[in-house]
Structure 1
Amino acid sequence: SAGLELSVNNHAADFTLSAELGPAISLSCLVHNSSQAEELLWYRGDGQVRLKDGNKVNISNICISPVNESDNGVTFTCKLARDKSVQVSVILDVQFPPKLSGEETLHVEEEKDVTLTCNSKSNPQAQSTWLKDNHNLTLQQSRHEVYQTSEIFRLSIKKLQKSDNGTYTCVVESPLGYGTRDFHLIVEDKKPVFPTEAVIAAAVVVSLTILFGIVARKDTIFKVW
């Protein structure tokens, strides 16, 4: 295979191909400097792509349709069947805006913790912020914690107070667009907690009262008879 070369979409070396959601992408692999029929193989990641007869020799085409988010970052590689070291790879760079919308309402007791999570996945990666009642949220180091990855944006609030009542908005913005999601947080009164011993004692008192009531009534019944 000395002197043999491959090209994908006229690229003889590995490259990145930008794409949008939806429209199909065609990849064409071509053998150069060959004097004989050469079989070609296509791979998506580590998995081999099944090719129809007539689409394997000297030139081979594959189509990705429709392009979706799961194709982002995926490597497609064309290889020479008899010498897999002869290859060209293309990495898909699928660009898409944040997909974020809707609202939800949360009822949480005072002094409990709450976590608000929104989907911040986009390419290119988005900038994310939290608002409270349409104003930038002022973070308190001891009570607020913000966590972000390429896919989620999360706000945790510890030991809720009544002043935490309000609408929290997750804003995710990228060059391709933006999305928001509202969380209506309602901080409810803390429910009284009874000690287990007190509950058991109360149950015993009620049981004894009922028992004595039955016994007293029994005496009355006997007296009547």
Structure 2
Amino acid sequence: VLALCFLASVATGLELSVNDHTADFSLSPRRGSSLSLSCLVQNSSQAEELLWYRGDRQVGLQDGNKVNICISPVTEADNGVTFSCKLARDKSVQVSVILNVHFPPQLTGEESLQIEEGKDVTLSCNAKSNPQAQTAWFKNNTTLTLQPNRHQLYQSSEVFELSIRKVQKSDNGTYTCVVTYSFTEMTKDFHLIVEDKKPVFPMEAIIAAVVVVTLTILFGIVARKDKLFKVW
């Protein structure tokens, strides 16, 4: 019992530092960069074992290395992830680093959409970025004038959408999604072609026509049989 108490008192006097930070902190690396984290023990009179965690999972380090981890390359999947250095014999002694990964949206190319007049259409831009980018819609190189009863905008952390209800011939044109990130503009064009509305035949009329054709064929067959019997 005395030995356990002694170890606990020693552990509580220890302090860890990660990249010279003794308290939890955050870093904002860019996607594609490399990030090195170094953990050191302070106020210890003996060699200590350190453990690294990514979220709740322990990071497997090479033999002999219990101090440094390297994240290369930094990806979007690392955004919001916490890396923690912990003392092996007392995991309450730790320092954590939260990654706030910066990355621009991936916005390229163009699309052509053919939509029947009177139907709804949604134009969707991949605007996923950190920090969130500024967005706008243009039609034929002019700022789009939104009609509350026909146009609807939707934006999340990943997409920027323009929905048009009951498209009309006047909706024909090129719609451009403009995304501004860190003073850089990226665009994607959508060429909207509104086609003529296809004629719709009532189901009752189709059924009636099928019945008439079927009866006509049957009557023709019966009449032909009667004629054959008369000849005989």
Query: Does the CA-based 8 Å contact 1:12-1:88 persist in structure 2?
Result: yes
Amino acid paired to 1:172: V
1:117 aligns with 2:127: no
Instruction: Give 3-state SS (helix, strand or coil) of 2:220's partner.
Output: helix
1:176 and 1:54 map into 2 onto residues whose CA distance is 45
Alignment pair present for 1:103 and 2:110: yes
How far the C-alpha of 1:103 sits from its partner, in A, is: 1.2
Gaps of 5+ in 1: none
Which residue does 1:21 correspond to in 2? Answer: 31
Question: Does 2:214 match 1:207?
Answer: yes
Q: What residue is the counterpart of 1:152 in the other structure?
A: 159
Local SS of the residue matching 1:89: strand
Which letter maps to 2:36?
S
CA distance in 2, matches of 1:223, 1:162: 63
Residue 187 of structure 1 aligns with which residue? 194
Once the 2 structures are TM-superposed, how far is the Cα of residue 214 of structure 1 from its aligned partner?
A: 2.2
| Higher strand content, 1 or 2 | 1
Contact 2:12 2:93 in 1 (8 A): no
CA root-mean-square deviation: 1.6
Distance 2:110 2:229 in 1: 68
Structure 2, unmatched stretches of 5+, are 1-10
Shift, 1:189, TM fit: 1.6
Consecutive aligned runs of 4 or more in structure 1 exceeding 6 Å deviation: none
Equivalent of residue 52 in structure 2, options 31, 37, 42: 42
Normalising by structure 1, we get a TM-score of 0.92
For 2:228 and 2:123, how far apart are their aligned partners in 1? 64
User: Which shifted more, 134-143 or 86-95?
Assistant: 86-95
- In the aligned structure 2, how far is the partner of 1:74 from the partner of 1:179? 28
* 1:201 partner amino acid: A
CA contact (8 A) 1:21 1:94 kept: yes
CA contact (8 A) 1:98 1:177 kept: no
Residue in structure 2 matching 1:142, options 136, 142, 149: 149
Query: Tell me, what secondary structure is at the counterpart of 2:112?
Result: strand
TM-score, normalising length: structure 2: 0.90
Shift of 1:177: 2.9
* Range with greater deviation from structure 2 (154-163 or 45-54): 45-54
Cα deviations by residue, 1:9-67 (Å, 9 ceiling, x for unpaired): 111111121212223211111111111121111111122111233123xxx11111111
Structure having the higher helix fraction is 2
SS in 2 for 1:20: coil
Amino acid at match of 1:197: E
Offset at residue 223 of structure 1 (A): 4.8
